[in-house]
Amino acid sequence: MNRKAITLSSVALAIAGLLLLLAGCFHVPGDFAFVAAPSPLFITFVNNSDDPAPTVFVFAVNAIPGFDALRDAIVWRVMPDIGRGSSHVFTVLPMCTVQATWGGGNKTMPLAAEVGVRYAVVEDDTGIVLIADGNASQPNAIDVVSQVQVAGGLNVHLLNDSMLFLQERVTAYGQKATFVLESTLYWGIASDIQEGQILESAVSDTADFFEQDLDGVFGATVTLTGDAQSGYQFEVTND
């Protein structure tokens, strides 16, 4: 084989290698389920309704038996005073963090909440801490076990974008809190509501919550339309 043929063969191999490298760089998983992913998801809310300043809120649910959204869900995002034609952008991170709290404002350092991992609240030489402690009870769950005796028990929180996303209250010594995350957000309209508030204690004007599916989505626009006579509706356009 002459030198020219060898050179052409080398160039072809180099191009093929480059194409494979680029393919690897731009390969992105198709599902969004609050696990490790390439980048955050940006959601834009747009008010195209006749309401000049609706208060719109967003929450998530814990897909475990016995979870009641009205009783147990936490108001994650509140978007007040978004005028007609105006918008608000917020971020959904692909991974939550987990944290335990107890007593008068005590809390552990938050850890990345990996699906399929069991965490434990223990007491070591430094005090009460949160550690990873093996596998969760099921592969799609996040478990947090209390191995400390504190007055009133523990509250266990999942946070997304540093904001309270889900919680399990009063986890007693020897018990565990379990979180099973859905790739769904729920939207509603309220008269009096605050971020971090239990949905049950809020004044919600919504009878049926709008469900936004995040599977395979890397960006979305949610638009509020309608009026008081015909009712208000949410519509979603995925990127």
Same domain assignment for residues 190 and 75: yes
Q: Indicate the number of domains in the chain.
A: 2
Query: Residue 144 is which amino acid?
Result: V
Same domain assignment for residues 195 and 136: yes
Same domain assignment for residues 25 and 55: no
**Average pLDDT score over residue span 70-99:** 95
35 in a structural domain: no
Same domain assignment for residues 80 and 188: yes
Q: How many whole angstroms separate alpha carbon 143 and alpha carbon 178?
A: 5
* Residue 122: pLDDT over 80: yes
84 in a structural domain: yes
Same domain assignment for residues 161 and 129: yes
Model pLDDT, residue 111: 98
50 in a structural domain: yes
Model pLDDT, residue 166: 97
Q: What is the pLDDT of residues 148-205, one digit of tens each?
A: 999 999 999 999 999 999 999 889 999 999 999 999 999 999 988 999 999 887 777 7
* Residue 106: pLDDT over 60: yes
116 in a structural domain: yes
The parent domain of residue 131 ranges over 41-238
47 in a structural domain: yes
Same domain assignment for residues 196 and 219: yes
Same domain assignment for residues 81 and 119: yes
* Residue 216: pLDDT over 50: yes
Same domain assignment for residues 80 and 182: yes
Same domain assignment for residues 12 and 112: no
The residue among 176, 163, 128 whose CA lies nearest residue 149 is 128
36 in a structural domain: no
Q: Are 58 and 186 within 8 A, CB to CB?
A: yes
Same domain assignment for residues 143 and 68: yes
Same domain assignment for residues 11 and 76: no
204 in a structural domain: yes
* Residue 137: pLDDT over 50: yes
The mean predicted confidence, pLDDT, of the chain is: 85
Question: Distances from the Cα of 38 to the Cαs of 214, 217, 218, 234, in angstroms?
Answer: 15, 12, 10, 28
Q: How many whole angstroms separate alpha carbon 203 and alpha carbon 210?
A: 17
219 vs 26: which has the higher pLDDT: 219
* Residue 50: pLDDT over 60: yes
Global model pTM greater than 0.85: no
The helix (H) or strand (E) run that includes residue 50 is none
Q: What is the pLDDT of residues 13-48, one digit of tens each?
A: 343 343 333 333 323 333 444 544 458 999 999 999
Model pLDDT, residue 36: 41
Same domain assignment for residues 17 and 97: no
Model pLDDT, residue 18: 34
